[in-house]
A and B are shown apart, each in its own frame.
Chain A
Amino acid sequence: MENPYVPFLMRIEEIIVETEDENIKTFELSFVGKADEERFVYTPGQFAEISVFGKGEAPFGMASTPTRPGRLAFSVSKIGVVTGELHRMEKGDVVGVRGPLGNGYPLESFKTKSLVLVGGGFGFSTLRSLTNFILHDSSRKDYGHLTVIYGARRPGLLLYKRDLEHWRERADLQLHLTVDKGENGWQGHVGFVPDVTRAVAPNPRNAYAVVCGPPAMIHFTLPVLKELGFGDENIFLSLEMRMKCGIGKCGRCNVGSKYICRDGPVFSQQELSRLTTEAHMQEGCTGHGARCTEKHR
């Protein structure tokens, strides 16, 4: 019998300091056991529990794309016990990874459609995964027009700078970066994500919107999408609750009749509107970061 509580062992291959405050690092991991790699079949939007042995586990969305086999990437914000220890770890160290968990983005529904991905701050990790997945040669033809809107408080807090450079050069992707507050040298747009969305979102016909970011961003972006004509069934969000088991048993992330970890974390706005009002509180907290789900020391 498969044991869903036992993690795969993974080695840290690379650590990328993402933000100028050094609070967010991306960990590139490889499987210690070759057979484990074949068992870990995931899609963008799914997540995993990372174990730091002796400290415990915390959930993170995969920031990598399955089109690049052999490596998993997780972006980790330093905030609690597990993430604090992760940030002290070095290349070559071994961690545990349990997953893939959750449902991921509905890739089948997205096929042939236009997509607008709206991300803010640290919640961008699984949207990075989705973007790189769609941009891959093997899948780009399956999807329509792709618009990516990504905002941060300041330029120094934008993640994945190498990817952003690469995406900017692609003709088959409209990238719109924005910051709340410009700094010296910032040539890009200054403004809030909802306003950018209003200005650049594609025609809602045959289009889906995926939203992932901090509470305020989501709160103000959803009405904009609605105003533009996106139906609730065409807006997807990735929710977050404190999680432990990741397999719908421990009870922690139960909201209404759903378990965020097992039935989500990705839900359409339509599904959410059927859940209890408690679910709407969760909308404010998305992006699978330990920022939200890990316990304080």
Chain B
Amino acid sequence: MSSPSKILRKVRLASFLERLIQERQVFAPVREGEVILIREIESPSQVVLEYPNAKESPKSVLFPQRETLFWYRAEKGKAEVDIPRDKEQGRVLFGIRPCDARGLLLLDKVFGGDCRDPYYVGKRANTVVVSLGCDDPNPSCFCLSMGGGPCSKEGSDLFLLDVGDRYVAEGVNEKSAALLADETFEKLDEETAALAEKVKRASGASMHPVVLKEKLVEQLERLFNDPVWKDLTESCLGCGICTYLCPTCHCFDLCDEAAGTTGERIRVWDSCQFPLFTQQASGFNPRPTVKERFRQRIMHKFSYLPETQTMPGCVGCGRCVTECPVNLDIREVVTSLSKGNAR
């Protein structure tokens, strides 16, 4: 059930956030040096809402780069395990972009499902996602090509749209109700509603689909053994920045950090772009070069995930496009492959 839309005046934003911070952990875009990052905030004055997108995706709020799964104590002949308890305090992920909110849908599918990941699912259930529509997308953005859009509400609980001196706030589901109940929110008038529609139309029109993908799955299957992958990855360094920044990439490693007889089992991000990811103890590696690892990334995102999770592992945020040190552009790769361009 969606709540009716309301108005949040920009002049009242600080007081609203102030109250939120009293009750919950609030994560929002802040400026750190030259870049915008999603961080837990202590004061509304830290929040920057006029920004193209954060340098890193917000996935770390729900899926931290390093997370303790349990602590252990192991001595001769005995061992015990202690699991961290969830924080009772609720969280708000405030002001993230619609592509990143959609990215959470994929993480929900991966970490939810038949065998639920209690660490992710616990935090997710406790988090209200407030996304902010894009009125000025980056040149590297291609959300429309991936089934989203600059004003997509998928993955958010409360959707904000900047219409000048105010935001229009649309409740997407019941998780937004507690926030919308705050005194800051005013009734939506017709004039503002019309303005919001205009902004939405304009932002959609400012983007064009750039990635052809009609026959992508078919072509990927056909091209699996084609030498084209070698050509595509000639310049790839295998640095993994694409997977690090990606809002949907979720591969991880489990390892122990020991200090004497005690220690912890931790989960850390990992990447299919690294050679050790699949290297076996025998020395055998099914993906020995950059070519196979890059192919795995593309196949996983555009063939396997659409089949198993009904959505691609890409929301078109464009981070991998802007941050790749050798300008490997996933849009060009996918376009070329979907046209069936073999070597």
Do B256 and A54 touch across chains, with their CB atoms under 8 A apart?
A: yes
Do B79 and A256 touch across chains, with their CB atoms under 8 A apart?
A: no
Do B251 and A242 touch across chains, with their CB atoms under 8 A apart?
A: no
Q: Produce 1/0 per residue, B1-16, CB < 8 A to A.
A: 0000000000000000
Query: Which segment of A19-27, A37-45, A173-181, A247-255 sits at the interface?
Result: A247-255
The interface residues of chain B, by DSSP majority, are classed as mixed
* Residue among B117, B250, B292 having the largest count of chain A Cβ atoms under 10 Å: B117
Number of A-B residue pairs at CB separation under 8 A: 141
Q: Produce 1/0 per residue, A202-216, CB < 8 A to B.
A: 000000000000000
Interface residues on B, range: 35 or more
Lowest 8 CB-CB distances: which A-B pairs, in order?
Answer: A251-B251, A54-B258, A53-B74, A294-B281, A94-B79, A292-B280, A247-B115, A257-B304
Do A5 and B77 touch across chains, with their CB atoms under 8 A apart?
A: no
Distance of A277 Cα from B250 Cα, bound (Å):
24
Contacts of B76 in A (CB 8 A): 92-93
Do B281 and A296 touch across chains, with their CB atoms under 8 A apart?
A: yes
Task: Indicate whether A250 sits within 8 Å of B254 (C-beta atoms), given known contacts A4-B117, A292-B280, A295-B276.
Answer: yes
Q: How far is the CB of B156 from chain A (nearest CB, A)?
A: 24
Contacts of A94 in B (CB 8 A): 74, 77-79
Do A5 and B299 touch across chains, with their CB atoms under 8 A apart?
A: no
Do A1 and B116 touch across chains, with their CB atoms under 8 A apart?
A: yes
Q: How far is the CB of B306 from chain A (nearest CB, A)?
A: 9
Task: Indicate whether A53 sits within 8 Å of B256 (C-beta atoms), given known contacts A9-B81, A94-B78.
Answer: yes
What are 28 A-B residue pairs whose CB atoms fall within 8 Å in the complex? A4-B118, A5-B117, A6-B83, A53-B74, A53-B79, A54-B72, A54-B74, A55-B256, A92-B77, A96-B72, A241-B280, A244-B252, A244-B254, A248-B115, A249-B111, A249-B250, A249-B252, A251-B251, A251-B272, A252-B277, A257-B304, A285-B280, A285-B284, A291-B282, A292-B284, A293-B280, A295-B279, A295-B281
Task: Indicate whether A7 sits within 8 Å of B278 (C-beta atoms), given known contacts A251-B251, A281-B286, A292-B284.
Answer: no
Contacts of A7 in B (CB 8 A): 81
Interface residues on A, range: 35 or more
Contacts of A1 in B (CB 8 A): 116, 118, 121-122
Task: Indicate whether A254 sits within 8 Å of B300 (C-beta atoms), given known contacts A4-B117, A277-B224.
Answer: yes
Q: Produce 1/0 per residue, B267-291, CB < 8 A to A.
A: 1001010001111111110100000
Contacts of A92 in B (CB 8 A): 76-77
Task: Indicate whether A293 sits within 8 Å of B263 (C-beta atoms), given known contacts A7-B81, A93-B77.
Answer: no
Q: Does B105 contact A (CB under 8 A)?
A: no
Contacts of B46 in A (CB 8 A): none
Q: Does B255 contact A (CB under 8 A)?
A: yes
Contacts of A251 in B (CB 8 A): 250-252, 270, 272, 300
Distance of A290 Cα from B282 Cα, bound (Å):
9
Q: Produce 1/0 per residue, A84-107, CB < 8 A to B.
A: 000000001111100000000000
Q: How far is the CB of A122 from chain B (nearest CB, A)?
A: 11
Q: Which residue of B lies closest to A54 (CB)?
A: B258
The interface residues of chain A, by DSSP majority, are classed as loop
Contacts of A9 in B (CB 8 A): 79-81
Distance of A57 Cα from B267 Cα, bound (Å):
12
Contacts of A249 in B (CB 8 A): 110-111, 115, 117, 250, 252
Q: How far is the CB of B141 from chain A (nearest CB, A)?
A: 26
Q: Does A187 contact B (CB under 8 A)?
A: no
Contacts of B280 in A (CB 8 A): 240-242, 285, 292-294
Q: Which residue of A lies closest to B257 (CB)?
A: A54
Q: Does A193 contact B (CB under 8 A)?
A: no
Do B74 and A56 touch across chains, with their CB atoms under 8 A apart?
A: no
Contacts of A248 in B (CB 8 A): 115
Do A5 and B254 touch across chains, with their CB atoms under 8 A apart?
A: yes
Do B276 and A96 touch across chains, with their CB atoms under 8 A apart?
A: no
Q: Does B138 contact A (CB under 8 A)?
A: no
Distance of A79 Cα from B121 Cα, bound (Å):
36
Q: Does B174 contact A (CB under 8 A)?
A: no
Do A252 and B308 touch across chains, with their CB atoms under 8 A apart?
A: no
Q: Does B341 contact A (CB under 8 A)?
A: no
With beta carbons under 8 angstroms apart, the residue of A5, A95, A241 that contacts B69 is A5
In the complex, which residues 173-220 of chain B have their Cβ closer than 8 Å to any Cβ of chain A?
none
Q: Does A184 contact B (CB under 8 A)?
A: no
Q: Which residue of A lies closest to B282 (CB)?
A: A292
Do A250 and B78 touch across chains, with their CB atoms under 8 A apart?
A: no
In the complex, which residues 69-124 of chain B have their Cβ closer than 8 Å to any Cβ of chain A?
69-70, 72, 74, 76-81, 83, 110-111, 115-119, 121-122
Q: Does A165 contact B (CB under 8 A)?
A: no
Contacts of A6 in B (CB 8 A): 69-70, 81, 83
